[in-house]
Amino acid sequence: MAQVYLTQAQERQAKAEKQLRIWIATQVTNQREIAKKTGLKYCTVNKRINEPETCTLEELWKILDALEVPPEERAKILL
């Protein structure tokens, strides 16, 4: 079976999506609640979580604030 290698950008995107999903599950919330807390549209939140590479820093900060993610955990998404 052939091995598939991800580019660095693909690895970062997958890591960011995984972290966002973990934080959503940890907070026992959903994307609709995040949309209400952030003031973003539901479709925007959904896209940002499924395609984190489309997220602006401001949107990311709003989502992380809504999820009450501590600063040391926020760093994981950027490394």
Q: What is the pTM of this model?
A: 0.79
State the chain's mean pLDDT as an integer: 87
Backbone angles phi, psi at 67, to 5 degrees: -85, -5
Q: Is 6 exposed, middle or buried (CB count within 10 Å of its CB: 0-12, 13-18, 19+)?
A: exposed
The answer, yes or no, to whether residue 8 has pLDDT greater than 90, is: no
Q: What is the pLDDT of residues 38-62, one digit of tens each?
A: 999 999 999 998 888 888 989 999 9
Give the Cβ contact number of residue 77 at 10 Å: 19
Written as one letter, the residue type at 35 is: A
User: How many CA within 13 A on the CB side of residue 7?
Assistant: 3
Kindly list the structural domains of the chain, giving each domain's residue range(s) and its CATH number in brackets, ordered by start: 8-78 (1.10.260.40)
What are the residues whose beta carbons fall under 8 Å from the beta carbon of 49, sequence distance 6 or more? 17, 20, 21, 24, 31, 63
